[in-house]
């Protein structure tokens, strides 16, 4: 890898990776979990900002993907973050707080999400958010 290639793709490591792979929802999901377990709530922009530390610069350019609309204002990282949080919302893991524009981790009806959250905590070697512990104890 020469200096020009390194400047175009700063996340690469020479011989090990020739191209940084394009970001996907699955790649972004751990970043969403990390924030949700730390703070209990997040916004897609925060998830995209965290994923932006390791993704390709191409994923951080506005409307820089094949199916982008002409008036698109988001980056691919933001699209992936919104999809990841949307999947969590659809699964009932999060609820959306419209006043604060936050996706909030929740235990769910009858604490149905507790096994999933415990699985995420265990796999990331993290800790449960305090608000979720309080919700579970009630």
What is the residue extent of each domain of the chain? 3-137
Pairing between β-strand 94-97 and β-strand 41-42 as defined by DSSP bridges? unpaired
pTM of the full predicted structure?
Answer: 0.78
Tokens of 2: 């020469």
CATH number of 3-137: 1.10.10
Q: What is the mean pLDDT of each run of 10 residues along the chain (138 residues)?
A: 59 57 88 92 93 85 75 85 94 92 89 90 88 84
pLDDT over 70 percentage in the chain? 84
Q: What is the pLDDT of residue 3?
A: 58
Among the residues of the chain, which ranges form H helices?
3-8, 25-39, 44-51, 76-90, 114-124, 130-137
Q: What's residue 131's pLDDT? A: 85
């Amino acid at each position: 890898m020469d200096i020009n290639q390194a400047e175009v793709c700063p996340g690469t490591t020479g011989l090990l990776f020739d191209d940084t792979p394009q970001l996907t929802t699955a790649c972004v999901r751990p970043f969403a979990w990390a924030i949700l377990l730390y703070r209990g709530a997040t916004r897609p922009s925060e998830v995209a900002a965290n994923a932006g530390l390791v993704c390709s610069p191409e994923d951080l350019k506005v409307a820089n993907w094949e199916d982008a609309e002409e008036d698109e204002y988001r980056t691919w990282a933001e699209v992936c973050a919104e999809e990841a949080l949307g999947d969590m919302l659809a699964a009932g893991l999060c609820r959306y707080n419209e006043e604060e524009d936050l996706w909030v981790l929740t235990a769910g009806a009858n604490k149905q999400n507790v096994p999933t959250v415990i699985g995420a905590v265990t796999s990331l070697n993290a800790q449960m958010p305090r608000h979720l512990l309080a919700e579970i104890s009630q």
